[in-house]
A and B are shown apart, each in its own frame.
Chain A
Amino acid sequence: MERSQLLTLVLEQIEEHLQQTQIGNDASQPLPKISEDTPLYGKDGLVDSLGLVSIVLSVEQAINDELDSEIVIADDRAMSQKSSPFGTPGRLVDYTMLLINERK
C-alpha cells in the first residue's frame, strides 16, 4: 500500500466519523476541510478521545481487511512516542505506514 492510498483511506475514515457525529448531522455546520496537517486530536483537535478510538479502529480494520493483516495501530510504541502519532492525519498515516512496512 502506497502512502497516498493510505492517506486517502485515513481521510475517508475521519470524514465518515465526522458525518456520523454531531458535526455532520448539523446541516447548518458544514464538514470542516481536512488535510493531512489538520489537528486531529489534542489542542484544537477535530475529535475527542472516543472519536479518536473510533477513527483508529476503523483505519485498523480497513487496512487489515485490505491487506489481510493483523496490524494493531494503538500499540505500546504508539502510546510512548514523543510526538503522538494521532496528532494529525499525516502523522497517523506515517505511523501506520511504519507498521505496514515492518510486517513485510
Chain B
Amino acid sequence: MSENRPLALVTGSSRGIGKFICEKLIVDGYDVVGCSRNASELVNAHYQHIAADVSDQSSVLNLFKQIRKEHGSLSVIINNAGIASMNHCLLTTVDAFDRVLNVNLKGTFLVSREGAKLMRRHNFGRIVNLSTVAVPMSLEGESAYVASKSGVEALTKVLARELAEYGITVNALGPSPIETDLIKGVGADKIAKIVNRLALKRLGRVEDVYNVIEFFIRPASDYITGQVIYLGGI
C-alpha cells in the first residue's frame, strides 16, 4: 500500500468478478481494500483484505473504522457483493428473500452511506453499483434477485442526487450473464434464452464489466451520475 495511490474499496472481492476488478484496479494505479465474508485468494502488495459482512451494520462500521484509521481517505467504491436466489416466486422462502435483499440492497446502502462520509472529506468520490440485465428483462424465476437489484438501481439514482454536492458520482452497471459462480446453478438453456434477448448474442466477460467501471471512475467522468449501463444491448 502506498500513500500516493488513490484507495478503492471492492465488496465481494474474494472471487469471480470482484477479484478481477481488484486486480485491474491495482494495475490502473489504485490501492485496493477488498472485503468479503471469506478470505481472499488475492495476494498483492497493493491489496488489503478485510473480512466483513456488508449486510451487517456493525461489520460495515468496523470495516470503515479500519479504512479511516489506516488510509484516511477513499476515492472509489465498487458495490459488487451479491447473492442470487433462482426460484419461482411460489417456491421462494421468506428467508431466501431476506438474505438476497439484505446482501444486495441493504449491503449496497450501508457501504455507500459509510463510504460517502469518508469521500466527502475530500469532495471527491466514485461509487459504482452492480445491477443486472435481469432488471430490464423482468426475468422470471428471479423475483428476489430482480427486486433487490431494482432497489439498487433506484438507490443509485437517489444517492446520485443526494451526494452530488460532495463531488461524489453514483452509477450502476448491469452485466449480462457472465461465467461466474453466481450463474453456475442456472441451466444452459436459460442462459442461452437470456443471451438471445441481447443485441450482442454472447456471454459477457469480466473485461466488459471492468470497461464500464473504468469509465465511471475516471476523474473526467465527473458529469456522469445516476446512470445505469447494461451490457450486451438490452
Contacts and interface: CB of A to CB of B under 8 A. Distances in A.
A50 B165 contact: yes
B120 interface: yes
B65 A68 contact: yes
A15 B220 CA distance: 33
A64 interface: yes
B61 A72 contact: yes
Interface residues of A, number: 10
Contacts, number: 18
A50 B165 CA distance: 10
Given A64-B65, A65-B68, A70-B62, A57 B117 contact: yes
B121 interface: yes
Q: Is the interface of A mostly helix, strand, loop or mixed?
A: helix
Interface string B50-69: 00000000100110110011
B69 A61 contact: no
Interface of A: 50, 57, 60-61, 64-65, 68-70, 72
Interface of B: 58, 61-62, 64-65, 68-69, 117, 120-121, 165
Given A61-B117, A64-B65, 16 more contacts: A50-B165, A57-B117, A57-B120, A60-B117, A61-B121, A64-B68, A65-B68, A68-B65, A68-B69, A69-B65, A70-B58, A70-B61, A70-B62, A70-B64, A70-B65, A72-B61
